[in-house]
Amino acid sequence: MEHLLINTGWWIPCYGFLGALLTIPWVTRLVRRTGPRPAAYLNILMTVLAFIHGSLLFRQVWDHTPYHLVFNWLTVAGLELNLTFELSSVSVAAMESVTGLSLLAQLFALGYMEKDWALARFFALVGFFEGAMSAVAISNSLLVSYGLLELLTLSTYLLVGFWYAQPLVVKAARDAFLTKRAGDIILFAGVIALSSMAGSLDFNDLYDWCETTNISMLTKTLIGLALIAGPIGKCAQFPLHLWLDEAMEGPNPASILRNSVVVTGGAYILIKVHPILYLSPFVNDTLIVIGTVTAIGATLVSIAQVDIKRTISYSTSAYLGLVFISVGANWISFALFLLFAHAIAKALLFMSVGCVILTTNNQDVTEYGGLGKSMPATTIAYIVGTLAMTGVFPLGGFWAFQDGFKGFWVEYPWVIGVILLVNGLTTFNLTRVYGLVFLGKTQPKTRRAPEVPWPLALPMVFLTVFTLITPLIMSGFGLLPSLDDISLFQIGSISLSSLIGFAAGALLYFNPDRQPMKFPVLKVQKLLEKDFYTEDFYNNTIVWAISQLSRIIAWVDRYVVEGLVNSVGVATIFGSEGLKYGTSGQVQSYFFTITVGVGVLGLMVVWLFW
Amino acid sequence: MLSILLVVPLIGAALVAWWPGKTRSIASTVALAVIGWTVLLLTKFNLGEPGMQFVEDFTWIDSLGLSYKLGIDGLSLPLVALNSLLTWVAIYSSDEKVDRPRLYYSLILLLNAAVTGVFLAQDLLLFFISYELELVPLYLLIAIWGGQKRAYAATKFLIYTALSGALILAAFLGLAWLGGSNSFTYNPALAHALPLNQQFLLLGALLLGFGIKMPLFPFHTWLPDAHVEASTPISVLLAGVLLKLATYGILRFCVGLFPDAWQVAAPWLAGWAIISVLYGALMAIAQKDMKKMVAYSSVSHMGYILLAAAANTPLSFSAAMIQMVSHGLISAALFLSVGVVYQKAGTRDITILEGLLNPERGMPVIGSLMILGVMASAGIPGMVGFVAEFLIFRSTFPIFPIPTLLCMIGTGLTAVYYLLLINKAFFGRLSPQVQDLEAVTWRERYPAMILTGAIILFGFVPGWITRWSEPTILAMLQPPAIVATVATIPTLDLQP
C-alpha cells in the first residue's frame, strides 16, 4: 500500500489533464444533447479524485524523508533526460493546496459560468491548468518545471482569451502570452546552459554541481539572471508585470487560480533554484531590487485603479515582490509563509469580488455602493480575505510578516520597512475598495443586488471558514512559532501599519459623500492609473523596434534579394535579345567575328605558354 | 525489399493514369500500400546495425560508373516514413473534384517515388537523378493546379532547383574526378585524400546546392512564392518532405563526405544559420498571408538544422533528425489547417479574416488544431517541436554558445508571428466580409488531426524517433569525441 501510494504519486497531476481530455466530446460539440455540464462534472470529479489521492499520499509522506520518482524520458547520443518528481511533505502539501483551491474555484465556476455556452471549454482549460500547476509542486527537475511553466503560459493564454470575441480580451491574451514567453525564453537559455554545464537538470544534481563548480563569475551571474527571468514573467514582477493586470479581462474563476496559484507556481520554482542563484551576489541584489520596486510600485498603482479586479490583482504583484525580496535575501521561510497565506487570502478576495461582479454586471468601483447590507456572505468573505492578507493577528498574513521580522532584522532591516509600507498601503487600498463597494449609498447598478446563489456562496463560505481556521491547522502541525517567541514590538508594528492604512482608508472612503478617487496632483494619479505608462513604454520601444525591423527586412527581401535575382533574369533576357541581332546573315560579319575570336584565343595561348 | 518502395508508387502512378475507374481510391490505396511497406520495413529494420541495411546493388551503366545501389540507414529511415505518411495525407486531403485527376494523382505518386529514391540512393549519380526527377512532377503540380500566379511561381521553383541540382552534380563529378574514382558509389573515404582547398570548393558547391533547396537566406525567395501558389496538398509535400531532401543531403553528403572541410567551415555555417533563422522569423512577422507566414517560418526553422549540422556532434545530429521530422509534421499540419481556412473563407489574408473560432459559424476545430500547431511550432512542451528545439539548442550550446542564444531569439519570434496570426484570424468577431462559411466536415479535419496526434505523441515519447537514427549517427561521427556531454565547457568561459 505504501509503495503503491508513492509510486502512483505522479498520477495526481494527471487527473487534471485527464479531466481536460475527457471534456473533448463536449468541447468539440460531438455531444450536444446533454449540454456542456457533464464536462464540468467530470472535471470536478477528477479534481476530487486528485484531492483524495493527494491527502492519502500526504499522510504517507508526512514526517518522512522525501521520496523520489525518476522516469527516463529520453536517452540519445549520451544525453540522458529524466523526469523526476519529489514527494515530500512540503511538495505534497503544496499540491494539495493547488488541487483544493482548484476544486473550490471549479465549484465556484459552475455557478459563475452557468450561462456561458463554452462551459465545457472553460473546464477543459481549468483541468489542464490544474494538472500543470500541481505537477509544478512535485517537480524535482528544472526540465519538468520549465516545461510546466510553458504549459501554464499556454493555458493562461487560452484562459485569458476565453472570451475571444472581445477586442480587449484578444489584446490581453496576446500580452499575457508574449510577456511570459519573453521570460520563458530567457529561462530556456538558462536551462540549456545548466544542462550543458551540470550534465543533469535534476535539482539535487544541480545543487551538488553548485558546490563544486568553478565557472567564472560572469557565467554564474548570467545563468542566475536567466533563471529568475522565468519567475519574473510568471509572478508578474517588474518589468514583465503588464500581463496580470490585463489578464483581468478573463473569466473570474480563472483569475482566482491565476492570482493565487499560478503566481505561486512561478515563485515556487524560484525557491527551487535559489541555491543556484546564490552563486552570484549580483543576482540576489537584482532579486531584491526587482522585488522592492514591484512591491512598492504595484501597491501604489493598485490604489489608483477603478476596475475592481485590477485593484486587487496589482497587490498580487506586490506580495510576490516581497517573496522575491525574501529569496534574494536568502530567507525562504518568509517566502513560503507569505505564498501560502497570500494564495488563500487572494483566492477568497477574488471569489468575493467575483460575486460582486456577477450580481451587478459591473467592474467599475465608482458605480458600486451599499452592497454590504444586501450581500452579507460576500461582504464577510471580503473582510476575512482582507484581514488574512494584511497581517491582522492571528490570521495568515500576520504569521508571514512576523517571520519576516525574524529573517530581515539583522541583515536587511530596511526590508521590514518595505514590508510594513506594503502592508499599510494594501490595507489602505482594500479598505478603500471596501468603502466604495460595500458601504455608502446604493447606486443604480447596486440597488437591487441580491446575495449570490448557493453554487457561488458555498465555496466562498467554505473558503472563508478555512481561512479563519488555517492558523489552527498550521499550529496543529507545529508550523507556527509559539507566542513567546514573538515580541510585542513585532505585533505592535505590524498591527500599527495595518491600523494606519485602515484608518486612512476609513477616513477617506467610509463617509457617504466620498469621492471615488482623489489625488492631490492629477499627474501622479494618471501616472499610477496608467501603471507608470509601462504599456506605452513597451509599445514605443520593443514592439515598435520589432515591427520596424520586420518592415525593413520585408522591404529588403522584396527589393534587394528579389531584385538581385530578378536582375539576373533581366540581364539574361537582355543579353540574349541583344545577341540575337548578331544573326544577320552577312557572311562578312561572321567571318569578322570568327577572326577576332580566334585571334583573341591565339593571343591568350601565346601569352600563357610562351 | 527497398525497390518495392520505388516500384509500388511507380506502378500505382501508371495504374492511376490508365486504369479505368476511381482514380482517387486507387491512388490512396497505393499510398496506403506504401505506408504498409514502410511499416514492414520499420519492423524488419535492425536497430543495432549502424550501417546500410537491405542493400541492393546492381551495375546500371558501367561506362558512366552509375550503379543502382539502394540502402537504408538511420538517417534515411525516418524521412522515408515521413514521406510515405505525408504522401497519403496529401492524397487524402486533395480536393475530390480536382481537375484532371489521373494526371494529378499519378504525379503525386511519381513524386513519392522520386523522393524515396533520393533518400535510398547510395550512388551519387543515382541520388542526383532522383533529385532532378522529383522536380518534374512538383513543377507540374504547381504549374497546373496552382493559384493565379502559378506559372511564375512554378518556373521560379524550377530554375532555382535546377540550379541547385546542377551545383550538386558539379560537386559529385568533381569529387569523382579529383578523387580518381571510376564509380559514383557513396564512399566517405574518397574526399579524405583531397587537399583542403579542393574539399572546400566541392563542399561549397554542395552547400550552395542544398542551401537553395533548404532554403537558406538569400536563396529562399522561391519558397514563399511556390507555397502561396501551390494547392494545399502540394504545400504539405513541399514543406513536409521536399525541404528535407536538402537537410538530408547536408547531413549525408556535406558532413559525410567532407568532414574535415566541414569542421573548418562550421563557425561560418553557424553564422549563416543565425541569419537565416532571424531573417525568416522577421519576414514572417511582416506577412499578411497565412501561407506566406508559415512558409517563412519554414525558412526560419530549417535554419536550426544548419546550426545543428554545424555543431557536428552525435547529439546535434539526432536533434537535427528530430527537427526534420518535427518540422515535417508541424508544417504539414499548419498548411492543412490554412488550406481549410482558404477553401472555406476564400482568403488567407489575416487583415480580412477574423473570429474564425466562432463555434457556430466559424471553424472551431480547425482553429483549435491551428492553435496546437502554432504552439508546437513555437516549442511548447508536450509536443515534438519542443523536443527538437531543446535538443538542438542543448547540443549546439557547448560548441556555439552565442549563435545558439541568438537562434533562441528566433523561437521567441516564432511565438510573436504565430500569435499575431491566431489573434487576428481566429480571435475576435467574424468579420463582415467573411461570414456564412460553409461548415467544415470531419473528412477535412482528419488529416490535420492525425498529424496533430503524431505531434503530441512524439512530444511525449521522442525516443521513438531518435532510436532509429542513433546508431547510424554514432557510427558516422565516431572520430570527433562525443563533445555533447562534457561536464564543464572550456569554450564558454565568458570572462568580462
Residue A482 lies in a domain: yes
- Whether residue A268 is found in the same domain as residue A303: no
Q: What pLDDT is recorded for position A515?
A: 67
- For chain A, the domain total comes to 4
Whether A219 sits inside 8 A of B488 (CB atoms) is no
Out of B415, B426, B494, the one facing A218 most closely (by C-beta) is B494
| Chain B: closest CA distance from residue A596 (Å) | 31
Grouped pLDDT means (10 residues each) for chain A, 610 residues:
82 90 87 86 92 90 86 87 89 90 92 86 91 91 92 91 88 90 92 89 89 87 91 89 86 88 90 89 92 92 88 91 91 89 92 90 83 88 91 83 84 88 92 87 81 88 92 84 79 89 87 69 81 85 89 90 87 88 82 92 84
Query: Is A564 part of the contact surface with chain B (CB cutoff 8 Å)?
Result: yes
| Chain A: closest CA distance from residue B105 (Å) | 33
Taking a contact as any Cβ pair under 8 Å apart, which residues of chain A between 359 and 398 contact chain B? none
* ipTM confidence score: 0.90
Q: What pLDDT is recorded for position B360?
A: 80
Residue A539 lies in a domain: no
Report how far residue B255's alpha carbon sits from residue B261's, in angstroms, rounded to the nearest whole number.
9
Report how far residue A382's alpha carbon sits from residue A434's, in angstroms, rounded to the nearest whole number.
8
| Closest B-chain CA to A201 | B394
Query: pLDDT-based confidence at B276, cuts 50/70/90?
Result: very high
Residue A530 lies in a domain: no
Phi-psi domain of B346 (left: phi exceeds 0; alpha: psi -120 through 50; beta: other): left
What mean pLDDT do residues B127-138 have?
Answer: 92
Most B CBs within 10 A among A83, A196, A206, hence the mutation to make, goes to A196
What pLDDT, in 10s, does the model give residues A480-517?
A: 887 777 788 888 888 899 999 999 888 888 877 776 66
Query: pLDDT-based confidence at B488, cuts 50/70/90?
Result: very low
H helix intervals, B432-462: 442-460
Residue B391 has pLDDT above 90, yes or no: yes
Out of B286, B387, B415, the one facing A177 most closely (by C-beta) is B415
Residue B85 has pLDDT above 60, yes or no: yes
Residue B491 has pLDDT above 70, yes or no: no
Query: Is A31 part of the contact surface with chain B (CB cutoff 8 Å)?
Result: no
Query: Is A158 part of the contact surface with chain B (CB cutoff 8 Å)?
Result: yes
> Count H helices, E strands: chain A?
28, 2
All three cell numbers of A275: 541555491
Ranges A158-172, B43-57, B78-92, B251-265, most confident:
B78-92
Query: pLDDT-based confidence at B480, cuts 50/70/90?
Result: very low
- Whether residue A47 is found in the same domain as residue A106: yes
Q: What pLDDT is recorded for position B291?
A: 92
| Closest B-chain CA to A563 | B221
Contacts of B466 in chain A (CB under 8 A): 74, 76-77
Which residues lie below 8 Å from residue A217, measured CB to CB, with a gap of 6+?
Answer: A280, B496
User: Is B335 exposed, middle or buried (CB count within 10 Å of its CB: 0-12, 13-18, 19+)?
Assistant: buried
Report how far residue B251's alpha carbon sits from residue B390's, in angstroms, rounded to the nearest whole number.
19
* pLDDT, mean over chain A: 88
Out of A78, A148, A165, the one facing B315 most closely (by C-beta) is A78
| Closest A-chain CA to B392 | A192
Residue B475 has pLDDT above 90, yes or no: no
Residue A536 lies in a domain: no
Contacts of A196 in chain B (CB under 8 A): 394, 397-398, 489, 492
| Chain A: closest CA distance from residue B102 (Å) | 34
- Whether residue A269 is found in the same domain as residue A328: no
| DSSP letters spanning A494-505 | HHHHHHHHHHHH
Indicate if the alpha-carbon torsion angle B362, B365, B369, B372 is positive or negative: positive
What pLDDT, in 10s, does the model give residues A540-584?
A: 888 899 889 999 999 998 899 888 888 888 898 899 888 888 777
Contacts of A193 in chain B (CB under 8 A): 397, 401, 492
Last residue of a domain, one of A77, A110, A140: A140
Question: Which residue is listed with cell 484578444?
Answer: A170
SS (H, E, C) A334-349: HHHHHHHHHHHHHHHH
Q: What pLDDT is recorded for position A101?
A: 92
Beta bridge partners of A307: A364
Q: What pLDDT is recorded for position A579?
A: 83
Q: What pLDDT is recorded for position A518?
A: 67
Report CA dihedral (A267, A270, A274, A280) to the nearest 10 degrees. -120
- Whether residue A456 is found in the same domain as residue A560: no
| Closest A-chain CA to B287 | A554
Q: How far is CA A585 from the centre of its chain?
A: 81
Residue A541 lies in a domain: no
DSSP letter for A76, please.
E
Q: What pLDDT is recorded for position A78?
A: 83
Out of A151, A158, A195, the one facing B381 most closely (by C-beta) is A151
Q: What pLDDT is recorded for position A243?
A: 87
- Whether residue A565 is found in the same domain as residue A434: no
Query: pLDDT-based confidence at B131, cuts 50/70/90?
Result: very high
- In chain B, domain spans: 265-486
Percent of chain B exceeding pLDDT 70 equals: 96
Most B CBs within 10 A among A17, A28, A72, A79, hence the mutation to make, goes to A79
| Closest B-chain CA to A545 | B282
- Collapsing DSSP to helix, strand or coil, B33 comes out as helix
| Chain A: closest CA distance from residue B398 (Å) | 6
Residue B482 has pLDDT above 60, yes or no: no
Q: Are strands B53-61 and B66-72 parallel, antiparallel or unpaired?
A: antiparallel
Angstrom CA distances, A417 to A165, A389, A414, A490, A494, stand at: 45, 17, 5, 12, 10
Q: What pLDDT is recorded for position B484?
A: 42
Whether A216 sits inside 8 A of B494 (CB atoms) is yes
Structural domain that includes position A135:
1-140
Q: Is the distance from CB of B16 to CB of B32 less than 8 angstroms? A: no
Residue A414 lies in a domain: yes
Q: Is the distance from CB of A290 to CB of A238 less than 8 angstroms? A: yes
Q: What pLDDT is recorded for position B1?
A: 81
| Chain B: closest CA distance from residue A574 (Å) | 18
What pLDDT, in 10s, does the model give residues B392-446?
A: 999 999 999 999 999 999 999 999 999 999 998 899 888 887 777 888 888 888 9
Q: What pLDDT is recorded for position A485?
A: 75
Residue B304 has pLDDT above 90, yes or no: yes
Q: Is the distance from CB of A185 to CB of B389 less than 8 angstroms? A: no
Q: Which of B254-263, B331-340, B451-460 has the lowest mean pLDDT?
A: B254-263
pTM summary value: 0.91
For helices A308-328 and A332-360, what crossing angle results, to 10°? 170
Q: What pLDDT is recorded for position A610?
A: 65
Contacts of B487 in chain A (CB under 8 A): 197-199
CA angle B212, B254, A76 (to 5 degrees): 110
Residue A534 lies in a domain: no
User: Is A294 exposed, middle or buried (CB count within 10 Å of its CB: 0-12, 13-18, 19+)?
Assistant: buried
Q: What pLDDT is recorded for position B485?
A: 41
